[in-house]
Amino acid sequence: MVWMMWLGATLVILGVLYSAGTAIYRGRMSNPHRSRAGARTLEPKHSGIRAIGLADKWPGLALIVIGAAILLFGLFGLRAL
C-alpha cells in the first residue's frame, strides 16, 4: 500500500510540474506595445479567455486528479487494514 502513496504523490507532482511548464514555456508573457492612450504597457494585446483555458493544461490536471484519487484510495486502504 505504501507504493500506492508514492505513485499518487509522484503523479500529483508531475501534474503540477507539467501545468507550470506549459504556462512558462508558452512564449513571451508580455510584449511591450503602445496602448490606445499612447502609453507603453506590458499587458498583452489579446489575452482573452485562452489565458485560463484548459486546452493545453488538461494532461497536467488529469495527472493531478488521478494522483489524488490514488492517494485517497491508498489512505482509505491503509485504514481498512
pTM of the model: 0.69
Closest CA to 13 of 62, 61, 64, 57: 64
pLDDT tens, residue by residue, 20-61? 888 777 766 556 666 566 666 666 665 555 556 677 788 999
pLDDT tens, residue by residue, 57-77? 889 999 999 999 999 988 887
Cell numbers for 73, please give them. 484510495
Q: Taking the CA atoms of 11, 56, 18 and 44 in sequence, report the sign of the dihedral they define.
A: negative
Q: How many domains does the chain have?
A: 1
Cβ distance 68 to 4 under 8 Å? no
Q: Which domain holds residue 57?
A: 2-80
**What is residue 8's predicted lDDT score, i.e. its pLDDT?**
94
